[in-house]
Every structure is written in structure tokens, then in C-alpha cells.
Amino acid sequence: MSQLPGIFLNVLAPVFLLVLLGYLTGPRLQLEARTLSRFAYFILTPAFVFYVLSQTRIEAGLAGRMIGFITVVYIGSIIIAFLVARLLKRSPAMTAAYVMIAAFGNVGNFGLPIIQFAEGPAALGVATVYFLANLVLAFIVCVGAANFSRGFSLGMAIQVFRTPALLALPPALLFNWLEITLPPVVMRPLELLSGALIPTMLIVLGAQLAAAGIPRINADLLISSAVRLISGPVLAFGIAGWFALPQLERNVGILQASMPTAVLVSIIAMENDLLPEFVTATVLFSNLASIVTLAIVLVFL
């Protein structure tokens, strides 16, 4: 535990300071979080995915084990969330909210910068593989859960495969496998755009949290947040050995499994009118509480 002050100051504090900057300046400067988030979603994220993955050398078998690892961990968290909600005899809507909160970790806004500071720039390629794997699983599960009480919408689930980040994946892998090097006139703009992703996402997260307001604390908020923040790292530490991951891939996977709930969950809840106030409050609370849980996880890595 003697490492805790250093971890907080060198890894977590820089990330939370940028979130705080967005939280404080968003309302005062009337920053439109939606515009910034769309810019990050449609422009910066695919540029980041292509730039990082086109240059990252990850053996196919190892990538498969990484995807299997993070998928099993998040499915485990989803099952725990569902069982907890059913044991508490919550309504179908609240049960769906529990599942959504557990399914979608903040593996982009928080995961990428924290991993960069904790494990170094070389870990970003590994973190991006986990990011994309969780993105696919989470969108499918969240859309299914949101439609739980009124039937599953296959069309909405298919939309996940049209997200800009995933559309950038096939060409990135192709260029990687063929070892194609693009000219500087192409790669340098991509490098600049990918470098802008992390600070932009953190500022946007702060502005979104400011717009959400102060969360109302209740039992469901605390329990669902605990499921996301505790079940992920516990499962990840417990089963990492099954997948024979090297140290870097293991550490990055455990960190991505430990992230709080993504802001996109509140957007999905709003779009489907699924307890949007509760889900948004839980997203805010879990992100704030993660400053403690992530510090503990980093100590044990």
C-alpha cells in the first residue's frame, strides 16, 4: 500500500484533473458535450484505432486469448448483475439497468489514458484490442437489455458493427498483416488526430458529468456500482491464468475489466426510456468511486 500515493499522483490524478477541467469549464464556457463527443466518436476514434492497430504487432493467437479473456470477464459481471437484481426482486426495467451498468466499462475515456500512464505508450495497442472487444459485447448486451421488456431489436444490435471504431478495424488489421507503411502525408494527420482523442474524451466526460448533476444516492445505485467496480477486477484476477497471457496483456486486461460504467450507457438508457435518471446517476457515481477502486487494483498489479 506504500505505492498508493505514487499511483494516485502519477496515474490517476492526471486523468481526473482533465475530467475535472471538463466538469468545471463545460457549463461556464457552454461547451456542447454532444458536439465534442460526436467529433471524438466519428473522427478521432477511428483515426486512433487505425493509427495504433496498423502499427501494433500482436500475434493472432494472443489476440484471440485477449478477446476471450475480456469477454468472459464481462459476461461474468453481467451474470452477477442479473442474479443480484433478481435476488433483490427488482422490476424487469431495473434488472435491465443493472445488466447495462455491468456490461459497459469506461474502457475508452478512462481505460486508454490510465493504461498509458500505468503501463506506458506501448500498452495502447493492447488496450485498444480490449476496448474494441468490450465495445462489441457491450452494445449488443445493452441494446438487448434495454429492449428486455418489449422484445429484442436485432436491427439496433447490428448497428454496433457500423460504428466508426469498428469500421476502422479491418483496414488497420490488413495494413498491419501486410506490413504496409503509408506515406507521411497520410500518417502524420492520423497521428495528430489519434493524439487528440484521449484529452478530448476526458474533457467531454467531465462536461457530460457536469450536465448530469449531483447523483441521488440510493441502494440500487450503490449495489449496481459495486457490481461493476468489484466483480470485474475480482473475476479478472481470478481467471487471468486460464488464458496464459503475458504480463503486459494480463495487466492491461485486468485494468480494462476494472473500469467504471461508460457514459454511453446513459445515452442508451435515454434513447430507450429505461430509467434514464437512475442510470445517469449511477454512471456519475461509479466514475467518481473508481478513483478508489482503480488505485487498489493498480497496487495489486
Under the banding of pLDDT at 50, 70 and 90, the label for residue 148 is low
pLDDT at 213: 76
Please state, for a pLDDT cut of 90, what percent of the chain lies above it.
50
Please state, for a pLDDT cut of 70, what percent of the chain lies above it.
95
Under the banding of pLDDT at 50, 70 and 90, the label for residue 165 is confident
pLDDT at 15: 87
Tell me the domain boundaries of the chain.
Answer: 4-300
pLDDT tens by residue, 286-300:
998 999 999 999 999
pLDDT at 253: 97
Query: Residue 74 pLDDT more than 90?
Result: yes
Name the least confident of 6-10, 105-109, 158-162, 256-260. Answer: 158-162
Q: What's the average model confidence in pLDDT over 254-270?
A: 88
Q: Report the Cα 44 to chain-centroid distance in Å.
A: 16
Q: What's the average model confidence in pLDDT over 73-91?
A: 97
Enter the DSSP assignment of 110: T
Q: Indicate the fold that domain 4-300 takes in CATH.
A: Na+/H+ antiporter like fold (1.20.1530)
pLDDT tens by residue, 184-209:
999 999 999 998 988 988 888 888 88
Q: What's the average model confidence in pLDDT over 170-197?
A: 89
pLDDT at 57: 80
pLDDT tens by residue, 116-128:
999 998 899 999 9
pLDDT at 17: 92
Q: Distance between CA atoms of 167 and 267, rounded to whole angstroms? A: 21
Query: Residue 211 pLDDT more than 90?
Result: no
Please give the full DSSP string across the chain, using - where no structure is assigned: -TTHHHHIIIIIHHHHHHHHHHHHHHHHHT--HHHHHHHIIIIIHHHHHHHHHHH----HHHHHHHHHHHHHHHHHHHHHHHHHHHHTT--HHHHHHHHHHHH-B-TTTTHHHHHHHHH-GGGHHHHHHHHHHHHHHHHHHHHHHHTTTT---HHHHHGGGGSHHHHTHHHHHHHHHTT----HHHHHHHHHHHHHHHHHHHHHHHHHHHHH-SPPP-HHHHHHHHIIIIIHHHHHHHHGGGGT--HHHHHHHHHHHT--B-THHHHHHHHTTSSHHHHHHHHHHHHHHHHHHHHHHHHH-
Q: Is 261 helix (H, G, I), strand (E, B) or coil?
A: strand
Handedness of CA 153, 71, 75, 37 (dihedral sign): negative
Under the banding of pLDDT at 50, 70 and 90, the label for residue 216 is confident
pLDDT tens by residue, 219-233:
999 999 999 999 999
pLDDT at 53: 84
Query: Residue 257 pLDDT more than 60?
Result: yes
pLDDT tens by residue, 237-252:
999 999 999 999 999 9
Under the banding of pLDDT at 50, 70 and 90, the label for residue 153 is low
Q: What's the average model confidence in pLDDT over 13-38?
A: 87
Query: Residue 40 pLDDT more than 90?
Result: no
